[in-house]
């Protein structure tokens, strides 16, 4: 019997996994000895859709499986028992990677959080239990005292994966120390950093691991009810969580008197409603309560007064997903990975101009270069590595020159970026850093809840300056004004959003002053990105002379004869971009002025 698994998470499905699954389903006769099922994301988003054929302890993973390829795999491998080496991206025998085109991508990883992602059917609690699922819950409830659980967490040295890196064991011990009518265990699944998607992947690929982490936490701190606050943009994650909670209740892992211990705990899902600031924990609590998601002043800290004013412990999805592994294997075993001050592993989302975009879980302390080039395969289209953005709207850009920096809670902040949730957006020589600074500020400006004056108005003033600079209307003193405003906003904001909002701007000023100068003094965009500062050019190879661009040009700067390549008069052009968006052949592009002059 062969087991056929199709990767069905959001990334797989948007690459067409549904069609692949449907084709396989239609090919498989009703009385087939082979079994077709779904699985989560194994992290190789760049080769989706993925199909795995599992036979005993041999796992063969095929990449880029469209329906036609699925048919071929069905005939040759599933029915005929013949592998198709050209399509194999990864092969595992007895849990050891043995070959395939993408061997390096997975072989360099250490998977604790992602231990089940891409391996089990996330909608089946049986699959999860077969992989040792809920053993940690049993152990924590039947064999351990709550204080022992907390001690084990402290030993592991696990630090919160939501961004700030606060020691989890310590946080739990605080929450254990307060009493209230109720005590809440909250899971932050708001994943607001645009460019990070590991929480989604864990929720879609291994939802029970998160539930287990929350149950164990509740046992340790005396929690009475759990909330998972999940962003509405993740409908599949919410669906799979609902199924998992239902199944866990049926098996008696959730609900009253869990496993006859007298300990009762249940979990409900709260769907976010689209506000980045709700990822901040006090704003998140306000949102659970049905209020506008505005941050509150601390103290009192959540351990004392969180949701509905009751003692509360809040952790990130990835933090909870680590817990069952730690309880099963011991805190010391966890410490064996990573560095002294940042133990364990971390999942990174590789995106942007990287050759192999996806998820990679590695021990803390690996260098940026090892992650981006060793695992991620370097830069897309062989271009030049310019920078990597970490920490999203709260973080910063780390320039290529610092690629030897170890990625952990100690070293990343030294560069001006932060660990954040682990999103790594890679930039090449065509990315304008001034524009990136503007981009992040647009985001935080929009998402500021409006409570603090500096965050609300200060970010707007910074944004106005940056917009002027990218339009080529920068003035002497702009950079100084940005720096000063940034400092003030950091000082005078209540929550992390405002306190970190200037970071993307300040870190780009620190490393890319030359680009700021080019925009302000020379009115040019070296990366060839900012529309007002570049030339628009028609690629004669692609242009088929339809004249759509010329008709749409408001200043009649485009001319030519029908059915022959058109040309843009760069002197007359006002860089409005209408020609690019009206071209049906993607024949028009932007280029740095210097290049065009050559």
Structure tokens at 152: 């084990």
CA–CA–CA angle 562, 565, 567 (5° rounding)? 105
Among 315, 389, 415, 445, binds ligand FMN (CB under 6 A): 315
Q: Which stretch binds ligand FMN (CB under 6 A): 90-98, 190-198, 401-409, 458-466?
A: 190-198
**Would you say 192 and 319 are in contact if contact means Cβ atoms under 8 Å apart?**
no
Residues with Cβ within 8 Å of 37's Cβ and at least 6 positions away in sequence, in order, are 3, 4, 5, 6, 121, 124
Helices 478-492/503-511 angle, 10° precision:
140
H helix runs in 336-477, sequence order = 368-369, 433-447, 453, 459-470
- Of the pair 146, 526, the CB lying nearest another protein is at 526
- Of the pair 177, 235, the CB lying nearest ligand FES is at 235
195 sits near ligand FES (criterion: CB under 6 A): yes
Binding letters toward ligand FMN, positions 140-179, x by CB under 6 A: --------------------xxxxx-x-------------
Q: What is the 3-state secondary structure (H, E, C) of 31-98?
A: CCCCEEEEECCCCCHHHCCCEEEEECCEEEEECCCCHHHHHHHHHHHHHCCCCCHHHEEEEEECCEEE
- Of the pair 497, 579, the CB lying nearest ligand FMN is at 497
Among 91, 111, 519, 578, binds another protein (CB under 8 A): 578
233 binds, options ligand FES, another protein, ligand FMN, none, Cβ within 5 to 8 A by partner type: another protein
Q: Dihedrals φ, ψ of 43, to 5°?
A: 105, -10
Min dist CB 223 to ligand FMN, Å, is 15
- Of the pair 128, 409, the CB lying nearest ligand FMN is at 409
Chain centroid offset of residue 65 CA: 24
195 sits near ligand FMN (criterion: CB under 6 A): no
- Of the pair 100, 352, the CB lying nearest ligand FES is at 352
Q: What is the DSSP letter of 233?
A: T
C-alpha span between 430 and 383 (Å, rounded) = 9
Min dist CB 356 to ligand FMN, Å, is 25
Binding letters toward ligand FMN, positions 363-402, x by CB under 6 A: ----------------------------------------
Min dist CB 210 to another protein, Å, is 16
Min dist CB 234 to ligand FMN, Å, is 11
581 binds, options ligand FMN, another protein, ligand FES, none, Cβ within 5 to 8 A by partner type: another protein
164 binds, options ligand FES, ligand FMN, another protein, none, Cβ within 5 to 8 A by partner type: ligand FMN
306 sits near ligand FMN (criterion: CB under 6 A): no
Min dist CB 394 to ligand FMN, Å, is 7
Among 423, 474, 502, 528, binds another protein (CB under 8 A): 423
Range 131-170, binding another protein (CB under 8 A): none
CB-based closest residue to ligand FES: 194
C-alpha span between 210 and 227 (Å, rounded) = 12
C-alpha span between 448 and 430 (Å, rounded) = 29
83 sits near another protein (criterion: CB under 8 A): no
Min dist CB 349 to ligand FES, Å, is 9
Min dist CB 94 to ligand FES, Å, is 36
- Strand 35-39 and strand 3-7: the pairing is parallel
Helices 317-329/207-221 angle, 10° precision:
70
**Count of alpha carbons within 13 Å of 21, Cβ hemisphere only?**
19
357 sits near ligand FES (criterion: CB under 6 A): no
Helices 513-521/478-492 angle, 10° precision:
130
Query: Within 10 A of 234 (CB to CB), how many other CB atoms are there?
Result: 22
Query: Within 10 A of 56 (CB to CB), how many other CB atoms are there?
Result: 10
Q: Which residues bind ligand FES (CB under 6 A)?
A: 194-195
């Amino acid at each position: 019997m062969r087991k056929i698994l199709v990767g069905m998470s959001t990334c797989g499905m948007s690459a067409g996994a549904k069609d692949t699954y449907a084709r396989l389903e239609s090919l498989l006769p009703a009385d087939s000895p082979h079994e077709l099922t779904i699985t989560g994301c194994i992290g190789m988003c760049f080769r989706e859709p993925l199909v795995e054929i599992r036979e005993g302890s041999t796992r063969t993973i095929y990449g880029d499986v469209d329906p036609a390829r699925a048919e071929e795999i069905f005939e040759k491998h599933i029915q005929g028992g013949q592998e198709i080496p050209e399509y194999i991206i990864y092969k595992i025998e007895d849990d050891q990677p043995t070959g395939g085109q993408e061997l390096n991508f997975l072989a360099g990883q250490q998977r604790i959080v992602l231990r089940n992602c891409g391996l089990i059917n996330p909608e089946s609690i049986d699959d999860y239990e077969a992989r040792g699922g809920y053993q940690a819950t049993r152990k924590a409830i039947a064999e351990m005292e709550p204080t022992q659980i907390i001690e084990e967490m402290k030993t592991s040295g696990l630090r919160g994966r939501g961004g700030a890196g606060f020691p989890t064991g310590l946080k739990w011990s605080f929450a254990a120390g307060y009493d209230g009518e109720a005590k809440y265990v909250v899971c932050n699944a708001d994943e607001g950093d645009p460019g990070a998607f590991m929480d989604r992947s864990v929720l879609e690929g291994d939802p029970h691991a998160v539930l287990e982490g929350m149950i164990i936490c509740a046992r340790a701190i005396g929690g009475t009810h759990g909330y998972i606050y999940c962003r509405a943009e993740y409908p599949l994650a919410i669906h799979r969580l609902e199924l998992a909670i239902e199944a866990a209740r049926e098996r008696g892992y959730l609900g009253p008197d869990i496993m006859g211990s007298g300990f009762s705990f249940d979990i409900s899902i709260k769907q976010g409603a689209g506000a980045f600031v709700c990822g901040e924990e006090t704003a998140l609590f306000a949102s659970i309560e049905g209020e506008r998601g505005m941050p509150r002043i601390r103290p009192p800290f959540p351990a004392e007064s969180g949701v509905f004013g009751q003692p509360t412990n809040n952790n990130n999805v990835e933090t909870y997903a680590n817990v069952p592994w730690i309880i099963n294997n011991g805190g010391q075993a966890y410490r064996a990975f990573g560095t002294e001050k940042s133990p364990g592993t971390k999942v990174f989302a590789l995106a942007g101009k990287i050759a192999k975009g996806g998820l990679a879980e590695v021990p803390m302390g690996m260098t940026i270069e090892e992650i981006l080039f060793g695992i991620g395969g370097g830069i897309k289209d062989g271009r030049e590595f310019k920078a990597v953005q970490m920490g999203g709207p709260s973080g910063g850009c780390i320039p290529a020159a610092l690629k030897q920096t170890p990625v952990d809670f100690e070293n990343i902040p030294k560069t001006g970026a932060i660990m954040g949730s682990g999103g790594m957006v890679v930039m090449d020589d065509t990315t304008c850093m001034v524009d990136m600074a503007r981009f992040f500020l647009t985001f935080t400006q929009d998402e500021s809840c409006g409570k603090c004056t500096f965050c609300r108005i200060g970010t707007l003033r910074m944004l106005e300056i940056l917009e002027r600079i990218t339009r080529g209307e920068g003035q002497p003193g702009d950079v100084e004004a940005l720096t000063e405003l940034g400092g003030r906003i950091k000082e005078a904001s209540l929550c992390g959003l405002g306190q970190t909002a200037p970071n993307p701007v300040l870190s780009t000023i620190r490393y890319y002053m030359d680009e700021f100068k080019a925009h302000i003094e020379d009115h040019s965009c070296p990366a060839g990105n900012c529309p007002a500062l570049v030339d628009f050019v028609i690629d004669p190879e692609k242009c088929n002379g339809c004249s759509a661009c010329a008709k749409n040009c408001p200043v009649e700067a485009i001319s030519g004869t029908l059915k022959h390549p058109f040309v843009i008069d760069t002197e007359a052009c006002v860089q409005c971009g209408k020609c690019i968006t009206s071209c049906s052949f993607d024949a028009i592009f932007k280029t740095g002025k210097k290049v065009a002059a050559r």
